[in-house]
Amino acid sequence: MTKATNAFGALGERIAARWLQQHGYAVLARNWRSGHRDVDVIAARDGVVVFVEVKTRAALEFGDPVQAVHVRKQQSLVRSAREWQAKHDAAPDVVYRFDVIGVLLRDRKAWIKHIEGAFTL
């Protein structure tokens, strides 16, 4: 990826994290790394820890950004989430969820699409 692409994605992640906070989530981590994999945002609300993949687009030419989270990416997120759980002594009563947030940036405006429970372990 180019620097511009990385910066564009990082902007979308910041917007998504802010959106989550505005909707009552506590952001626990951003860009949490596990080897070569990462989780864009890890947040919590009402006893649920949420692993969030953020996809940012400038146009819909290639489809809705949330559709870009394919099976391989889901598997990677699941592996990273398991590592995060192991490193944070996950309590057995904590509920975990995988969400996807699509961010469409156009004309200096952002549109957010939050899919709760986008996929499961």
Tell me how far CA of residue 29 lies from CA of 39, 75, 77, 115, in angstroms.
9, 20, 14, 19
The pLDDT tens digits for 20-50 are 999 999 999 999 998 888 899 999 999 999 9
Write down the pTM of the prediction: 0.90
CA atoms within 13 A on the CB side of 83: 14
The pLDDT tens digits for 52-87 are 999 988 877 776 777 778 888 899 999 999 899 888
Domain locations in the chain?
3-119
Q: Which CATH class is domain 3-119?
A: alpha beta
Which among 45, 100, 44, 43 is positioned nearest to 77, based on CA atoms?
100
